[in-house]
Structure 1
Amino acid sequence: MNIAVLSGKGGTGKTTVSTNLALALKANYIDCDVEEPNGFIFLKPEISEEKQVKIDYPFIDYKKCVSCGKCVDVCQFNSLAKVKEDIVLFNKLCHGCGACKIVCKYDALTYKKREIGKIEFGKARGIECRKGLLNISEPMAVPVIRELLNDLPENINLIDCPPGTSCNVVTSLKYADSAILVTEPSEFGLHDLKMAVELVKMYNIPFGIVINKDDGKDNIIKKYCKNEKIDLIGVIPYNRNSAVLYSNGEVLYDDLEHKNLFDDLSNKVKEVLKWN
């Protein structure tokens, strides 16, 4: 079973919920926030393997190229451009669709591979841990996320999604059987939560909401869940102790008060997500 943990915005505590719920559920932890993965800071797994992620990109043989511009016309991603009589390649914009090679009548285009990131495999506290890491300056995270989510381990997998509702999140959700949405009781939190809810509904999978930094009041998130008939899995109170533990890179689950909290959350997750 693959559970996606996502948030409409950054900074809600998505990784905090993911890492600690992974321990409570004894689930494998998969960090898909490949542009800024930080779950390993807390779980501290022992890395056993690394794997490069490579993608195809076109290579132009200028001895054969006649600068007809057919490849430029067919490219939907603007990775090829005709500048005067030359064809210029912007390889970081290339999606590797192969259209340029197909339309080239002079066999001037072939494909090569280049590395855009890597995947790290490890174990911590009896669970498998994986994370993707996109190389600096690379614009496309999706190929790394796809490779990371390919052939996931058996049992339960907690997928720590990228923040927001971009194509990176959409790619992560394609592998999910259910979802947990993490938010905070603020106007910004509610605004972006609504977008995340609409995204998850498109996949027709069970989901529920966790409120982080909860103020203990009947706040706007609780009212929204009630009005929209969305399951509220639980809340994480706003307190100084949580912030101190987090800022020191410690796992909240090691603290008895937080352990009880996340154990309760894990039981509610099984109830809300129609556990099988």
Structure 2
Amino acid sequence: MILSVASGKGGTGKTTVAVNLALSMERKVQILDCDVEEPNVHVLLKPKVTERRPVYIRIPKVNENLCSHCGECAKFCQFNAILALPTEVIVFPELCHGCGGCKVVCPSNAIAEEDKEVGEVVRGFSDGIEVVYGILKIGEPMPVPVIREVKRYLDKEKDVIIDAPPGTSCPLSSLGLWKRLRDLGRGVHSLRSPSRSQRSGAG
């Protein structure tokens, strides 16, 4: 069984619910704390740590001797992590998502990649409960790479409880999606609320 505890914002009690569910189960249990910006499962369960592993993303490193300053890398990057000037290329590591696309499109093979540490994953045990949580480094804007690494530890042989990050189930986001689909005229039939006549049972 895999059970996710989610909500539309932080501070609603997801961690409390997730931890109590884990404590109430009799089978082998694993709990994954995916709230990597403010993990708290380990605060409540106090696991004995058995493993710590850093999390990296790959960011571009430009060889100016090979670069033709064509600007293809900057055109490709939708996150504006690369600025191509007539005489140099500037990389903004804090904006890079580590997709590697700039390296692929570079016609001069002037882009290599290097590791940038963005956080760590910690694993431990508390009274038979396996606890895995991620910690995003202070100042890092993207929690997704760390969350992804936490989820790699998911053990399907156990009952797994996932303490989801805040905002995973957000009614406001769902409303925005519904309005966007309505404006596009797509898929509204599957998301539309029932009409008053339908609710009253009228034909």
- Normalized against structure 1, the TM-score is what? 0.59
- The residue aligned with 1:141 is 143
Of residues 155, 158, 161, the one that matches 2:161 is 158
The Cα RMSD (Å) is: 2.0
- The residue aligned with 1:64 is 66
Query: What SS is found at the alignment partner of 2:44?
Result: helix
Deviation of the 1:84 alpha carbon: 5.1
- The residue aligned with 1:186 is none
Residue pair 2:36, 2:135 contacting (<8 A) in 1 also: yes
Deviation of the 1:197 alpha carbon: 7.9
Deviation of the 1:85 alpha carbon: 3.1
1: CA distance, partners of 2:143 / 2:61: 22
- The residue aligned with 1:126 is 128
1: CA distance, partners of 2:153 / 2:38: 22
- The residue aligned with 2:24 is 24
Unpaired segments ≥5 residues, structure 2: 176-203
- Normalized against structure 2, the TM-score is what? 0.79
Q: Indicate the structure with greater helix content.
A: 1
Q: 1:68 to 1:196 in 2, by over 3 A?
A: closer
Larger mean CA deviation between 84-93 and 12-21 belongs to 84-93
2:48 pairs with 1:41: no
1: CA distance, partners of 2:153 / 2:16: 25
Deviation of the 1:66 alpha carbon: 2.4
Query: What SS is found at the alignment partner of 2:4?
Result: strand
Unpaired segments ≥5 residues, structure 1: 170-191, 199-276
Residue pair 1:7, 1:196 contacting (<8 A) in 2 also: no
Name which structure has the greater RCO, CA cutoff 8 Å, separation 6+. 2
1: CA distance, partners of 2:173 / 2:159: 22
Letter in 1 for 2:158: N
2: CA distance, partners of 1:140 / 1:128: 26
2: CA distance, partners of 1:145 / 1:164: 14
Deviation of the 1:133 alpha carbon: 0.6
Identity across the alignment (%)? 45
Moved runs in structure 1, 4+ residues, more than 4 A? 195-198
2: CA distance, partners of 1:63 / 1:196: 46
How many residue pairs match? The answer is 173
